[in-house]
């Protein structure tokens, strides 16, 4: 038998159907010489600190840094995971070959390799590597299975990422929590999370420090075109008034230059994941996480190709298939028809093998989409129109610049006219999302401005005539706060604001995070109370600002420096950098950071209600010192959903219908019911269980089998169940 391991049951079902394994068994499908089984998310994880030595269980400053001599993995403590792993383990014992059908990316490779390693797999391993889940793609993939060794570097990069996140995340989080958390909160530090927060904090400080100032500009109307004086902005009203009087005293406007240049607006690029998230945020206000969810669903429904990509190009072997995909797009026939009148061009801006590694840009498949919810339709529409637009002609424009003079004051006006819309036709009748009144006003302003720019009469150099001057009063604007769209772009380019697509491609290697993880990083910052979201904007909270101010080590918070670590991870993936070298550098960094922070003076951080997941044990010497009593402070609101799951220590807690549970409950399995032993628990009870491991005395508890009420303390047991 050949054993295929897919990343989830639904994908296993699709694969089993195509290869003829149609007999359903407990935990797998069988038939035609194949057994098709599955994982669901991470089955294995790196061992926790206490798995290496019991001394590392407590959060103590003296125990840091924690650096295992060798990193080990363990099976996640979850009954569902353990049962399915048992199925996989048994299937692997007698198989002739394993086919890794995991998600075709770095994380997917890591998940499956860890499972094979844990199950002590001795059979040869092949790799199914496909970019869509259509029947034809699966058939082609099985006809061209690759040797697993081709993906050893991808696995090494995934391992390096996981080890790096463990070393820095666990050590730095415990370091800053024990030093500055004051026993009130976990101060979460991450290799990608912290520099992202630093970008937001820097922008917030610029906004806070900004002082708005009034300014005045001299403008004049000549032949119904408004011209603006080319002198510097005036910050004195009296001076502006004198300027107006001068213009009124010189009633003739003379044209000194008229320049009209024809140019082209290049077609937009195909979508990578970040570009799709940016566009969906701009157009529909979708968060990065929501967009990823929708495009992942579209991929699993076979309507679009693999979404977790960071390239905007297609491989050259896809060129012959493009016409078929375009013909299949029945809902876009009017837009596609002009393209099918002649052969599809093999454009270098679309097809380039040098710009494609594991996967190509996100495009539609030839499967006609059905049964989509409205928001999935919107995301599909973005992908479909972009795919069509790249093959349309370029947009031809005319840029006009007119210079004039009144007395000795020079004026300028510019205009833009679209001569041939080209690819813009694809978006001419685009379906619009429901927008707020504020967004509609902004859109109307933009349309009005664009209309004004287009209307520009022909001027002749030397012509002159009367004009109507005026003063325009305005206020200087602060820097704009980040939106998810601009933050994603900032993460992609390590904080540099870049509009040019070519330059952006060059900077991607040093971007922070991966396309598939950036959405989660943003959500984590919000859940940790480091960032708050107001409409579309993201603002750093006081807690976030204080945390960044406390971190003196530049490497932890610099997007550019962290980008160099990301580049090394990509080099490992390409085989240009050694995993062991990367580990050694990280270990040295953690040692240096620990020594530096231990020497730092205490700083006050504005703590939001995010209690620590386990008791933070102070240094022995600190325990012996008598501390003066502090006056009681007002009680802070307890936010259980801001706490980390005490079991997996990876995900936040989430409120359900009858219990608080791990946000990754299906894998982790941790929960605390709202009612225990007949008593409804308060948030304080739950907080005490999570932070202290036990509650205070509770009256009115009913032990099963006893009619009498009793009182006692609820305790969190070693297996994370609640005991009395």
| Residues taking part in catalysis | 306
229: which strand partners?
411
With a CB cutoff of 8 Å and minimum separation 6, the contacts of 172 are: 189, 190, 194, 556, 590, 593
With a CB cutoff of 8 Å and minimum separation 6, the contacts of 453 are: 414, 415, 416
Closest CA to 548 of 154, 200, 299: 200
DSSP H or E run through 157 = helix 152-180
Strands 125-127 and 97-101: parallel
- Total length of the chain: 724
Q: Distance between CA 613 and CA 649 in Å, rounded?
A: 8
- Report CA dihedral (615, 618, 620, 622) to the nearest 10 degrees: -140
Question: What value, to the nearest 5°, has the Cα angle with vertex 661 and ends 307 and 27?
Answer: 60
Under 8 Å between Cβ of 611 and 687:
yes
| Cα Rg of the chain, angstroms | 31
Closest CA to 150 of 712, 607, 575, 715: 575
Angle 515-527/288-300 helices, nearest 10 degrees? Answer: 140
Residue 219, φ and ψ in degrees, nearest 5: -130, 160
Under 8 Å between Cβ of 12 and 6:
yes
Burial class (CB in 10 A: 0-12, 13-18, 19+), 444: exposed
With a CB cutoff of 8 Å and minimum separation 6, the contacts of 208 are: none
Q: Distance between CA 613 and CA 485 in Å, rounded?
A: 32
Match 């520099």 to its residue by tokens: 195
Angle 288-300/273-284 helices, nearest 10 degrees? Answer: 120
Report DSSP state, residue 69: S
Under 8 Å between Cβ of 328 and 368:
yes
Q: Distance between CA 412 and CA 403 in Å, rounded?
A: 5
DSSP H or E run through 413 = strand 409-420
Closest CA to 34 of 118, 114, 96: 96
* Cα 674–chain centre separation: 33
CB atoms within 10 A of CB 204: 22
With a CB cutoff of 8 Å and minimum separation 6, the contacts of 26 are: 87
Q: Distance between CA 623 and CA 303 in Å, rounded?
A: 61
CB under 8 A, 24+ apart: contacts of 660-664: 660/686, 664/41
Question: What value, to the nearest 5°, has the Cα angle with vertex 679 and ends 676 and 682?
Answer: 90
- Report CA dihedral (250, 251, 256, 261) to the nearest 10 degrees: 130
- What three-state secondary structure class fits 622? helix
Q: Distance between CA 522 and CA 524 in Å, rounded?
A: 5
Question: What value, to the nearest 5°, has the Cα angle with vertex 181 and ends 557 and 205?
Answer: 40
Residue 170, φ and ψ in degrees, nearest 5: -70, -45
**What is Dmax (Cα atoms) for the chain?**
104
CB atoms within 10 A of CB 173: 22
């Amino acid at each position: 038998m050949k054993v295929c391991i897919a990343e989830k049951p639904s994908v296993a079902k699709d694969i089993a159907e195509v290869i003829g394994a149609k007999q359903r068994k407990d935990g797998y499908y069988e038939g035609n010489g194949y057994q098709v089984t599955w994982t669901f998310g991470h089955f294995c994880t790196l061992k926790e600190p206490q798995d290496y030595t019991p001394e590392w269980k407590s959060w103590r400053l003296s125990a840091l840094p924690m650096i295992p001599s060798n990193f080990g993995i363990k099976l996640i403590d979850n009954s569902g995971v353990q049962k399915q792993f048992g199925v996989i383990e048994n299937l692997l014992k007698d198989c002739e070959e394993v086919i890794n059908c995991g998600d075709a990316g770095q994380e997917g490779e890591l998940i499956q390799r860890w499972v094979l390693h844990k199950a002590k797999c001795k059979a040869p391993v092949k790799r199914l590597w496909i970019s869509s889940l259509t029947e034809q793609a699966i058939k082609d993939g099985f006809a061209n299975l690759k040797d697993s060794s081709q993906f050893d570097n991808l696995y090494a990069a995934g391992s390096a990422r996981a080890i790096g996140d463990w070393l820095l995340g666990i050590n730095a989080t415990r370091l800053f929590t024990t030093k500055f958390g004051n026993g009130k909160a976990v101060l979460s530090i991450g290799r990608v999370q912290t520099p992202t927060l630093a970008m937001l904090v820097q922008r917030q400080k610029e906004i806070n420090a900004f002082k708005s100032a009034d300014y005045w500009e001299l403008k004049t109307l000549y032949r119904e075109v408004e011209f603006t004086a080319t002198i510097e902005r005036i910050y004195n009203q009296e001076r502006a008034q004198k300027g107006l009087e001068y213009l009124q005293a010189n009633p003739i406007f003379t044209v000194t230059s008229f320049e009209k240049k024809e140019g082209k607006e290049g077609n937009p690029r195909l979508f990578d994941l970040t570009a799709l998230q940016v566009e969906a945020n701009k157009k529909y206000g979708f968060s990065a996480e929501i967009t990823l969810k929708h495009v992942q669903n579209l991929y699993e429904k076979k309507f679009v190709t693999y979404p977790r990509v960071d390239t905007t190009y297609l491989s050259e072997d896809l060129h012959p298939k493009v016409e078929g995909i375009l013909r299949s797009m029945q809902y876009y026939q009017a837009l596609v028809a002009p393209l099918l009148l002649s052969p599809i061009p093999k454009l270098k801006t679309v097809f380039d093998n040098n710009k494609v590694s594991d996967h190509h840009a996100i495009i539609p498949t030839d499967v006609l989409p059905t049964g989509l919810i409205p928001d999935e339709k919107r995301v599909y529409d973005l992908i479909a129109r972009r795919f069509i637009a790249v093959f349309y002609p370029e947009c031809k424009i005319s840029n006009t610049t007119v210079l004039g003079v009144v007395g000795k004051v020079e004026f300028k006006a510019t205009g833009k006219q679209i001569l041939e819309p080209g690819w813009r036709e694809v978006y001419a009748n685009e379906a619009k999302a429901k927008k707020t009144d504020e967004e509609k006003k902004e859109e109307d302003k933009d349309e009005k401005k664009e209309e004004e720019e287009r209307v520009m009469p022909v001027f002749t150099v030397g012509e002159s005539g009367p004009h109507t001057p005026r003063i325009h009063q305005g206020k200087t604007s602060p820097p704009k706060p980040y939106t998810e769209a601009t933050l994603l772009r900032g993460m992609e380019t390590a904080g540099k604001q870049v509009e040019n697509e070519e330059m952006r491609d060059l900077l991607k290697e040093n971007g922070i995070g991966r396309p598939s993880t950036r959405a989660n990083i943003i959500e984590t910052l919000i859940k940790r109370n480091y960032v708050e979201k107001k409409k579309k904007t993201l603002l750093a909270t006081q807690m976030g600002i204080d945390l960044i101010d406390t971190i003196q080590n530049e490497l932890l918070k610099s997007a550019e420096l962290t980008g160099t670590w990301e580049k090394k991870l990509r080099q490992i993936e390409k085989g240009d950098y050694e995993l062991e070298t990367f580990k050694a550098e990280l270990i040295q960094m953690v040692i240096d950071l620990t020594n530096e922070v231990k020497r730092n003076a205490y700083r006050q951080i504005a703590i939001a209600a995010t209690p620590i997941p386990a008791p933070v044990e102070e240094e022995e010497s600190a325990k012996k010192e008598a501390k003066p009593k502090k006056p009681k402070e007002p009680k802070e609101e307890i936010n259980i959903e801001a706490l980390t799951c005490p079991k997996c220590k990876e995900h936040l807690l989430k409120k359900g219908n009858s219990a608080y549970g791990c946000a990754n409950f299906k894998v982790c399995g941790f929960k605390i019911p709202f009612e225990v032993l007949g008593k409804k628990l308060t948030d304080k009870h739950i907080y005490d269980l999570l932070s202290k491991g036990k509650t205070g005395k509770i009256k009115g508890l009913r032990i099963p089998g006893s009619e009498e009420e009793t009182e006692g303390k609820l305790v969190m047991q070693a297996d994370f169940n609640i005991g009395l």
